[in-house]
Amino acid sequence: MTKHVCITGCTKGLGHALAHWFLNEGWIVSGLGRDHESIEALQSDASEDRGFFRIVDVTDESAVGAFAADLAAKFGAPDLLVNNAGLINANAPLWEVPPEDFGRVVDVNLKGVYNVLRHFAPQMIERGSGIMINLSSGWGRSTSAEVAPYCATKWAIEGLSQAMAQELPAGVAVAAMNPGIIDTDMLRSCFGEEAASFGNAAQWAERAGPFLAKLDTSINGKPLTAP
């Protein structure tokens, strides 16, 4: 039976690389993101019988709900959900971060994850199976200067995932995963050209994809780290 993965923030970076890895492995792949051209390209690559990609902002709870319902009608609940969508603040001491920037980081990285879990967890619970992975960060288990808003949201993802894990029935699991350090636009916003010294997203997906594909409910509530 063909498995199904749903990836948020699938239009660039780690999410985009993961979507292509899973498509190449024969999975049904669904995803949401905000880049129109990237969504169209992914849908074209996947074809209608193996992909379901839509333009959705994870901060829009009603749009996430509509996406989840439409996806369930076409392919059913995903076997694996990867909450990848996220952003980081421009480097600055906390007191110099504009309120709107702080709010946007919280809205995407934390509220966006909640919005997705709110609509997909019930589908998995009803079916009796499913794995939900919320991408955290090394900065969800440690801290650095000038990225306090980002750190705050990723520490929150760790706690949210562990608490939710205690609420799930047998057969369904959730965990936070630190993806590691990868050369993405997000990392370049922090590290500048030094980010190039780390492996790119496609290389990361070649390692992380097999790891994610093999997860089972024994990971429930555990702090994971991608290989």
What are the boundaries of each domain within the chain? 4-219
CB 153, CB 109: distance < 8 Å: yes
- Tell me the mean pLDDT in the region 195-224: 91
State residue 191's pLDDT score.
Answer: 58
Q: Which architecture, in CATH terms, is 4-219?
A: 3-Layer(aba) Sandwich (3.40)
Rounded to whole angstroms, the Cα distance separating 7 from 10 reads 6
| Residue-wise pLDDT tens digits, 68-97 | 999 999 999 999 999 999 999 999 999 999
pTM for this model (two decimals): 0.94
Is 150 in the active site?
A: yes
Q: Which of the residues 21, 150, 155, 204 is marked catalytic?
A: 150
Strands 224-225 and 172-178: parallel
| Residue-wise pLDDT tens digits, 102-139 | 999 999 999 999 999 999 999 999 999 999 999 999 99
Rounded to whole angstroms, the Cα distance separating 32 from 53 reads 6
State residue 183's pLDDT score.
Answer: 60
